[in-house]
Amino acid sequence: MKKNILRQCKGCRNIKNREEMVKITLFNNSLFINPNSKIMGRSIYVCKNEECIKNLIKTKGIKRGLKFNDGEIIKETEEKLKNFLILP
């Protein structure tokens, strides 16, 4: 059985099972969408739904949650997150 690891969504602030969320990790001054937790580093989580991802973007959750200031990389990552929703 998988362990229930709970994390807070930066979009809706609800606490959920990590399995239901997208992990974004700061590593080597770059950002990674990190579904398997293979990359270690400061991370934030967001639910895999449009509302939470939009809210994360609107509230600058990546910048604030990871204390990361590279607007270009944040924008790229936000685009990747939006694409993540389209994937099966």
Could you list the residues that contact Zn ion (CB under 5 A)? 9, 11-12, 47, 52
Residue 57 C-beta: closest distance to Zn ion, Å: 13
- Is the Cβ of residue 64 or residue 71 nearer to Zn ion in the bound state? 64
- CA-nearest of 74, 77, 54, 53 to 64 is 74
Residue 13 C-beta: closest distance to Zn ion, Å: 7
Contact present, 69 and 29 (Cβ < 8 Å): no
d(C-alpha 72, C-alpha 84), whole Å: 18
- Is the Cβ of residue 54 or residue 70 nearer to Zn ion in the bound state? 54
Residue 75 C-beta: closest distance to Zn ion, Å: 21
* Backbone φ and ψ of 37, nearest 5°: 55, 30
